[in-house]
Each structure stands twice: as structure tokens, then as C-alpha cells.
Amino acid sequence: MAIYLDYAATSPMPAEVLTAYTAALALIGNPASIHSAGQNSKRMLEEAREQVAASLGCDSVEVTFTGGGTESVNLAIKGLYWSRNATAPRPRILVPAAEHHATIDTVDWLARHEGAIIEWMPVDELGRIDLVALEEALERGGDDIALLSLLLANNEVGTTQPVVEAAALAARFGVPVHVDAIAAYGYQPIDFHALGVAALSVSAHKIGGPVGVGALVIARSATIEPLLHGGNQQRARSGTQNAAGAVAFGVAATLAHTGMDARVAKLEVLRERLTSGIQSAVPSAVLRGDPNPAGRLAGNVHFTFPGCEGDSLLFLLDAAGFSVSTGSACQAGVPEASHVLLAMGLSEPDARGALRFTLGHDTTEADVDALVAALPAAVERASRAGLAERETTMGR
């Protein structure tokens, strides 16, 4: 049986979540119907909304359920952009260069189809947004800025972001902020009201809920133009609501929230065990992201291996019984260097030898130690393959 170390891609569903999900799936009733079956479905839906809200430090009325994290990001960015441009032209969007592709592709679409002007904010060598550059961009952009969108923590290298400080800077200029908290959800406490942002995106399957369910938290003071129209079932989203998915999401959110301190403490120990183990077993490996434990997600370990291709290492480890990744699952199978690592200043050859190991509630010390034991052989084989490829290329 494979050892699963790719929790950032998706997280296994705990038994409590699966039980609640299957029970809810067996019930009939549209939450918008006024008969008793429909009202029972609505009651379950709203209880789940309250559970998700409690896990995020917001009010239940601020939670809009979506079809997943990508939809949440699209709804936030496009919705804020359209709303902000309804009264005056505000074409500029501020985005750090190391964001998830859900954000990058969304703002790129707005640039191509809606005339948006994207200003890419630099990040440092750890993957953290440059607040000085952000402040300068806010001063320079003035009333032309529609919004700022940034991660709560980087999904590839795990570096946490100074969202409170960034939001405070944006507030001085009246610019709303969207936060992609999908990678951070369940791995660090989230208090939506304390962040001071307009919108925040999360996804159920990252914390053990079902795939195809997410949420966008929208501040009471924020205005977002919906992507979907036809029913007004939710404040910013039309469509029949997925009551069963919401129920499962609510249970997963409660489990993630109530047990967070103990789980995070366990993950931090495992993360440091894995980090030091890799550094000892493969001295050439380079840790990426913030090396300060307080500055990165508890379950994230990200290394680059000089002279290796990340895909080669991934396949070799997969054959040895380990599930890991080279970065975002949304870009899996795309043979190109990580834009996150390039934004952090790495050269393309260095950025190509990346592996991300992400730990979760089922990860054990034995899992970590087994990976460390298997890694040197995989690196050696990948290095030989990389050298042979380079020699062949040079021979041409």
C-alpha cells in the first residue's frame, strides 16, 4: 500500500465525514422547496453553513457555498472586479507572481476579455510578497485599482503570507482584498474578521471533505457580482445548493477546526523530522520556502534536487510506493518549471528538480522514515537519467 504524502493535492476523507455524507446523500429534498422534505434539507444545509463559518471566524450569512476552490477564486476575483468597475473604471489588479494558477488564469482571462491591467507583485526568495513593492503599487495605482488578490500561504513551498499587513495597506487606499486560503485551511487558524479582507476562498477536499464543494466567504460590507444567475439561492451564487456536500464539508470543517492545535503540533514535529532527514540523506537537496518553522505551513516540506527532474523523482518514488508531487496538482503532467520557484529567483534548471511532500492527519513517523530511506536511491537514478539526457542534448 502506497504511503500518501500529497495532502495538499487532496486529503483522505475521515470516517465521520464519509458517514455523514452518505447519510445525507440518501435523503431527498431541494433546500429551496417549502415542503417538509425540502425544509429538512435546508436545515441540514444551514447547520453546515454555520459549521463552516465557525471554522473560519465569520458569520454564516457570509458563507457562500460553491462547486470548489477554483470557482470560489473565480467568483471572488471576477465578482469584485466587475462590481468595482460598475461605478468607475478601475482596470488594475494587484497579484503576487507566485499565486496559484486558479488566480493567475482568472486574472489573465480578465486581461484578455475585460481589459484588466495586471500588476505582478514581486516575492522574495522565500516566496513571500514584498510589502514595500505592494505599497508603492497602491500609491502609484490610486483609484485605478480594482482589487488585490493573494494567498494566505503558498500552496507549493508553504510560506505563509503577511495578509493582515497587506490588507491594512490596501485599506488605506480603499482597495478590497481577496485571500486564497485553500492551502492554509486546516493547517493554521483562520479568523476572517481579523484579517480585514473582503473575500476568502476555501475548498472542502483539502480538509477531508468531498471534491466538488467549496466556499467563498464574503464580508457583509463587500459587493460581488455573481458568475451564475438564475434563482438567487445564495447571496452571490444561483443554483440548487448541494446539501449533502455541504453536510460533509461542515463535518470536515468541525473536525479540522476543533482538533487543529494538536494536529498542527504533530505535523510540525513530523515536518521537521522529514526536513532534517532529507538534508541528512541527500546533502545536495535545497529546502525551499521559509526555513523558519513559524513561517511555513505545518504539513509542507519542499525541496529542489540539483541535477534531477522533478517528474523523474516523482515516478521513481511512486514505483517505490510513495505518493508525492512536484507542485500544484492543477499543473501535474505539464513539463515546465514551477512559476512559483521562478518568481522566487531560481533558474529554470534549478526549478525543474522540485518535489513537494505534504503531510496530513494519517501521516506517521514510520511513513516519514520510509521516505527518507528510499529517497537517496531515487535521487541517484534521477541524477543519472538527467546527466544522460544533458549529454545527449549536448551531443546534438
Active site residue 330: yes
E strands along the chain, which residues? 3-4, 63-66, 92-96, 117-121, 145-151, 177-180, 199-203, 214-218, 286-287, 300-304, 322-323, 354-358
Residues 6+ apart with CB under 8 A from 266: none
**Structural contact between residues 24 and 248, judged by C-beta atoms closer than 8 angstroms:** yes
What count of residues does the chain have?
396
Residues 6+ apart with CB under 8 A from 380: none
Cα(263)–Cα(245) distance, rounded to whole angstroms?
24
Considering the candidates 111, 131, 320, 330, report the single residue annotated as catalytic. 330
Q: What are phi and psi of 112, to 5 degrees?
A: -75, -35
Q: What is the CA radius of gyration of the chain?
A: 22
Beta strands 92-96 and 63-66, pairing class = unpaired
DSSP string across 158-187: -BB--HHHHHHHHHHTT--EEEE-TTTBTT
Owner of C-alpha cell 483539502: 206
**Structural contact between residues 57 and 191, judged by C-beta atoms closer than 8 angstroms:** yes
Cα(200)–Cα(192) distance, rounded to whole angstroms?
8
Cα(185)–Cα(109) distance, rounded to whole angstroms?
26
> Annotated active-site positions, please?
330
